[in-house]
Amino acid sequence: MSAATLPLLRGFGAEETLAWHDGRPLSAQAFCAVATALAACVPSARYAFNLCESTTGFLLASAVALIAGQTLILPSTRLARTLDELLAAYPDSYCLVDTIGERNRAADVTEWAVSPQLDAARDATLNATAWPPPAIAATQTAAILFTSGSTHAPKPHAKEWGELWQGAETFLRSFGAPPPGVAILGTVPPQHMFGFETTCMLPLQSGRPVLEARPALPADLARALRTAASLGVDEVWLMTTPLQLHAFHRELTSVPGLARIISATMPLDPALARSVERDWQVTVEEIYGCTEGGILATRRPARSKYFTPAAGIKFATTASDATEVSGGHLPRSLIVTDRLRPEAPVDGDGSGRFEILGRDDDMVKIAGKRASLCGLTRELLRIPGVRDGVVFLPDPDASRLAGAIVAPGLSAVSVRASLARSVDPAFVPRPLLIVAALPRDLNGKLPHADLLALLATAREPAKSGVANGAPLLLRTSISSGHPTLPGHFPGHPIVPGVVLLELIETLLAQNGYQINACPQVKFLAQVAPGEPLDIRVDLADAPIARFAIDAAGRSAVIGRFLCSTSVVPA
């Protein structure tokens, strides 16, 4: 193998398990055989959209495109409008999917299913022709990934195979190679850079298998760990986000077989890391990185606030006081927007370690005072009863901050009063919306455009009651990133009825009503994530609240609640 090419797989024996399909082991040799055979059949195109939801399907689809010399397009969202826009931007393309018919787009494009091909992995004659693993040109543009859009519009970032390959090497040198008997388990979609690094590139380049599951709920994680044990896996390394880790830890008292947790996508609260390490007896580590550069630094937040540069990576301050990152797997230096503070040198020697103070665009100035949006959000989330929340600046010229919370049983008045005890009153958000769910994407991030849409369609709770018997009206939608959706309705996500009823419950609570009984409810049509929802609650016959939800213009839910007025805490 020449220096101009790099292997698709490293560290595997031909018969060693790389992944599982429907609970059956898939050997490294069988994986290469199926990928090579499929690569010879797929359309001759420049780009391949990898829309596979299953972990093993995504892994196979990625290998197929790489072997075929194509560039993977990895959309950060599955919304139909976004996919149609990307298909228009990359016209010489087709879609790799788990099974045919998983359409979530209007554009007419060729689909190629990978799941049925995995059954061919048991063909011994086919397998014998596919070892050693194929080599990929180091300069091949392997993938185009997109930023999340949490601060700006999503931007594409192209990655050559050599950069991704070296990035996996950086990961292994920074954390150490997983020992024999370890399997990788991820909760982050592989279309995201962190998910791609840890559930695609890490298994391919570490010689350790990846589990099929992608847990979204605590029960999913418990089930995945039991399944791993039944497959003969000794230990599991979990790749997850702070939001998901918090949910897992809140519900699970033990996690048999879990040996290591690596978190990314947003800052990990050291207090959460300490609690997890204490309660689960598991090491918790964190990656500092970005779509542009992948893994850049690591830390163990339960023990230190400082990050250590990843293997081969160097951080430096430029003449303009910006932070420049170079070396390692990076093909060129990049500027990060976070404000970093180096650890104080000891005996004149700097350690290279640093703490993160926040992003430049995270700092806001209100009434001549400055504060961090992340810091304000942390204070908001510390209020008892607030399950989720965010503080944000609607636009650069706004004179007030806005906020949104998921806080059943609380009012905006009481939450603002609690927040004012820990932050300057100038930074207490107005409006503060109480919602059934925040529009988080699958990585737990909150795209700014979705927050603005939430602000435009929702409204701050009234003090109590409804004037003149007017109906309660709300237009909203359920994001594809809602925690009840990933992994539960693969290929055809449906919003659960209980989530729709929670929207009505929240709307009533915002207006001073609590639900005592639900004598009637009818679900008339399925609701897909992202569909516009028009909610109407009629209280003319109070205490009966008659409600209706229309989804994209069709009647989806009707029913009635028995309510009583509730006292809104001051």
In a domain, 497, yes or no: yes
Residues 145 and 229 in one domain: yes
Look at residue 362 and tell me if it is in a domain.
no
Block residue for tokens 């290279």: 352
Per-residue pLDDT at 152: 55
What HEC string does 11-31 produce?
CCCCCCEEEEECCEEEEHHHH
pLDDT value at position 372?
81
The DSSP letter of residue 366 is E
Residues 276-315 pLDDT 10s: 999 999 999 999 999 999 999 999 999 999 999 999 999 8
64 lies in some domain: yes
The last residue of one of the domains, among 461, 490, 515, is: 461
pLDDT in tens, 167-202: 999 999 999 999 999 999 999 989 999 999 999 999
Q: What is the pLDDT of residue 275?
A: 96
Q: Are both 127 and 39 inside the same structural domain?
A: yes
Is residue 415's pLDDT more than 80? yes
Structure confidence at residue 464 (pLDDT) = 38
217 is a domain residue: yes
Residues 429 and 520 in one domain: no
Residues 450 and 489 in one domain: no
My answer on whether 564 and 457 are in the same domain is no
**Lookup: tokens for 378:** 């942390």
d(CA 492, CA 494): 6
Q: Which of 70-84, 262-276, 553-567 is the least confident region? A: 553-567
Query: Of 393, 426, 461, which marks where a domain is finished?
Result: 461
Within-domain flag for 258 = yes
Per-residue pLDDT at 467 exceeds 50: no
Residue 157 has pLDDT above 80, yes or no: yes
| Contact (CB, 8 A) for 76 and 191 | yes
Residues 268, 176 share a domain: yes
Shared domain check, 468 and 456: no
Same domain, 329 and 388: no
Chain-wide mean pLDDT for the chain?
A: 84
Q: Which two tokens mark 56?
A: 């093993």
DSSP state for residue 156 in the 8-state scheme: E
Asked if residue 97 lies in contact with residue 111, where contact means CB atoms within 8 angstroms, the answer is yes
- Tell me, letter by letter, the H, E, C secondary structure of 229-296: HHCCCCEEEEEECHHHHHHHHHHCCCCCCEEEEEECCCCCCHHHHHHHHHHHCCEEEEEEEECCCEEE
321: left (phi over 0), alpha (psi -120 to 50) or beta: left
- Confidence grade of residue 509 (pLDDT, cut at 50, 70, 90): confident
Print the domain residue range for 250. Answer: 5-356
120 class by beta-carbon count within 10 Å (0-12 exposed, 13-18 middle, 19+ buried): middle
- Greater confidence (203 vs 79) lies with 203
On whether both 410 and 518 belong to a single domain, the answer is: no
Largest CA distance in the chain: 79
Residue 283 φ/ψ, nearest 5 degrees: -70, 130
CA distances, 226 to each of 25, 88, 231, 256 (Å): 16, 43, 9, 8
Number of folded domains that form the chain: 3
- What is the model's pTM? 0.72
**222 shares a domain with 340:** yes
**pLDDT over 60 (residue 526):** yes
In a shared domain, residues 153 and 19? yes
Among 413, 436, 461, where does a domain finish? Answer: 461
β-strands 141-146, 554-565 pairing: unpaired
Given this model, what pLDDT does residue 166 score? 96
The answer to whether residue 397 is domain-embedded is yes
Of 5, 327, 46, nearest to 139 by C-alpha is 5
Segment 433-439 shows an average pLDDT of 80
Average pLDDT rounded to a whole number, residues 419-440? 85
For 355, the enclosing helix (H) or strand (E) is strand 354-359
Question: Would you say residue 568 has pLDDT above 60?
Answer: no
Asked, for residue 361, whether it belongs to a domain, the answer is no
Q: What pLDDT sits at residue 393?
A: 87
pLDDT digits 0-9 by tens, 362-386: 777 776 677 888 889 988 988 998 9
Q: Are residues 327 and 390 in the same domain?
A: no
CA 164/CA 201 separation, integer angstroms: 7
